[in-house]
């Protein structure tokens, strides 16, 4: 548990759920999923795509600056959501704040395009290297916002955006910065990326009512569906009337892997990260756990067993948003954090259709989990600022 909380003063996202808080909350208030079939390469697969109106906004952004025409969608998604986040937080362009934005796949569409050209011609375009490097996202966001402060990029697979939170908390607590913009961006609906997930045999294949069955512990097949999204949060050291919630605990751990993509049957990494985030707080104070739960058989079960180990008989309400919005890789942790903020704001639990449980009467503390290939788990403990 943190000795001094860090405050979330704004959060902006784009996904298949929408792009505004009102739109997102409306999307969460029904039993409908936002997944669809799309032609990716030469096959039709389940995906979670940005809404057409958001796509049009990204297209407009691309043509606002001649330099932006060569950028990957992952960079444009990040610029778009970062602009909205700092506007909502009241940070002006040119302000002094740090930036830490990551991505699991990065500029995968551009990389696939340039690599194909190289295989065909033995040559590649002049801008191949600068437009496909990992640091491309944070550096272009810093350029667009004209920010003065450190800018950091990283990729820690599916826990990337929550690792950005961890890093920013460290900077803020050290006194080296007072404000930090953090998040993740993913534009990975590409043929090679989908093929990689299918090769692992974790991708949804069946045409069910719910293609992704995250937290359905009776499923016999893996049901992960990939989505595109970006989400950015503004973090500050000082409390203000803009604060959406306080980060009061952070936890992290690495799974001792038996396989490149595996978790232990009781997800020891999640046990350690949740325990660390709780610190001296009693587990029963937590009202909701927003689980990583990507819709895979073993992944969902292992994380739930970890929750059982930590919380015992007092298991909080559990939820995952991936049955609704898909798995957005590096952006997924921040979308889960956003879901927690919305439930706190409206004091209403968002249920998962496959898991019956008692809903909490109030939501004061929420735990947000994320983990990625390599077993890099993160847990963030949030406290509502407007709930007694």
Statement to judge: residues 259 and 189 lie in one domain: no
Tens-digit pLDDT profile for residues 72-81:
999 999 999 9
Q: Is the pLDDT of residue 257 over 70?
A: no
The beta strand positions in 166-308, using DSSP E, are 179-186, 226-227, 229-236, 245-254, 288-290
The pTM of the full predicted model, rounded to 2 decimals, is 0.96
Closest alpha carbon to 330 in 277, 376, 380: 376
Domain of 228, CATH number, reads 3.40.47.10
232-251 confidence digits (pLDDT tens): 999 999 888 889 999 999 99
Edge-to-edge strand list for the sheet holding 43-48: 36-40, 43-48, 226-227
Per-residue pLDDT at 261: 55
- Does residue 260 sit in helix, strand or coil? coil
Write out the H or E segment, with its range, that includes residue 230.
strand 229-236
11 in any annotated domain: yes
Q: Are residues 232 and 151 in the same domain?
A: yes
Burial (0-12, 13-18, 19+ Cβ within 10 Å), 361: exposed
Is residue 227 domain-resident?
Answer: yes
Q: What is the pLDDT of residue 240?
A: 81
Domain boundary among 205, 236, 267: 236
Tally of structural domains, the chain: 2
In a domain? residue 242: no
Please identify, among 187, 216, 236, the residue that sits at the C-terminal boundary of a domain: 236
Which pLDDT does position 348 carry in this prediction?
A: 97
Q: Quote the domain boundaries for residue 373.
A: 248-384
Predicted pLDDT of residue 135:
85
> Does the pLDDT at position 260 exceed 60?
no
- Residue ending a domain, among 208, 236, 264, is 236
Contact 207, 40 (CB under 8 A): no
Question: Do 216 and 258 fall within a single domain?
Answer: no
Handedness of CA 294, 231, 133, 163 (dihedral sign): negative
Write the pLDDT tens digit of every residue in 329-379. 999 999 999 999 999 999 999 999 999 999 999 999 999 999 998 789 999
Rounded CA separation 375/270 (Å): 9
* Residue 263 pLDDT level (bands cut at 50, 70, 90): confident
Q: For the segment 115-153, what is each residue's pLDDT rounded down to a tens digit?
A: 999 999 999 999 999 999 988 999 999 999 999 999 999
**Within this chain, do residues 211 and 256 fall inside the same structural domain, yes or no?**
no
Identify whether residues 208 and 319 lie together within a single domain. no
Q: Are residues 218 and 305 in the same domain?
A: no
How many other C-beta atoms lie within 10 A of the C-beta of residue 386? 11
332-346 and 21-28 helices cross at what angle (nearest 10)? 90
More confidently predicted of 29 and 262: 29
Q: What average pLDDT score do residues 295-309 get?
A: 97
- State pLDDT tens for residues 22-43: 999 999 999 999 999 999 999 9
Report if residue 243 sits inside a domain. Answer: no
Check whether residue 350 and residue 286 sit in a common domain. yes
Please tell me the distance from the alpha carbon of residue 284 to that of residue 287, in angstroms, as a whole number.
8
């Amino acid at each position: 548990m943190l000795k001094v909380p860090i405050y979330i003063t704004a959060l902006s996202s784009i996904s298949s759920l929408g792009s505004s808080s009102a739109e997102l909350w409306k999307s969460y208030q029904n039993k409908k999923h936002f997944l669809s079939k799309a032609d990716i390469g030469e096959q039709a697969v389940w995906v979670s795509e940005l809404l057409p109106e958001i796509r049009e906004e990204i297209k407009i952004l691309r043509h606002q600056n001649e330099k932006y025409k060569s950028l990957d969608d992952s960079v444009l998604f990040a610029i778009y959501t970062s602009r909205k986040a700092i506007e909502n937080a009241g940070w002006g362009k040119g302000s002094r704040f740090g930036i830490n934005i990551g991505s699991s796949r990065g500029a995968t569409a551009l990389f696939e395009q340039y690599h194909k050209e190289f295989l065909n011609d033995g040559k590649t375009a002049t801008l191949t290297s600068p437009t496909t490097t990992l640091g491309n996202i944070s550096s272009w966001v810093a350029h667009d916002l004209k920010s003065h402060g450190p800018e950091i990029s990283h990729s820690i697979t599916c826990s990337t955006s929550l690792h950005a939170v961890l890093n920013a908390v460290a900077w803020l607590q050290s006194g080296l910065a007072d404000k930090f913009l953090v998040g993740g961006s993913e534009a990975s609906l590409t043929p090679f990326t989908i093929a990689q997930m299918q090769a692992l045999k974790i991708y949804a294949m069946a045409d069910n009512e719910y293609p992704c069955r995250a937290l359905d512990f009776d499923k016999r097949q893996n049901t992960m569906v990939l989505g595109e999204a970006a989400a950015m949060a503004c973090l500050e050291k000082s409390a203000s009337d803009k604060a959406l919630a306080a980060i009061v605990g952070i936890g992290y751990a690495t799974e001792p892997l038996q396989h490149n993509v595996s978790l232990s049957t009781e997800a020891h990494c999640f046990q350690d990260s949740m325990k660390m985030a709780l610190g001296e707080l009693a587990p029963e104070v937590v009202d909701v756990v927003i689980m990583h739960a990507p819709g895979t058989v073993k992944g969902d079960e292992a994380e739930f067993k970890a929750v059982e180990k930590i919380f015992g008989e007092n298991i909080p309400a559990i939820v995952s948003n991936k049955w609704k919005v898909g798995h957005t890789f590096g952006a997924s942790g921040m979308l889960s954090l956003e879901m927690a903020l919305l439930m706190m704001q409206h004091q209403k639990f968002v249920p998962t259709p496959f898991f019956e449980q008692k809903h909490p009467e109030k939501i004061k503390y929420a735990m947000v989990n994320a983990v990625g290939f390599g077993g890099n788990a993160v847990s963030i403990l949030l406290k509502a600022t407007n709930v007694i």
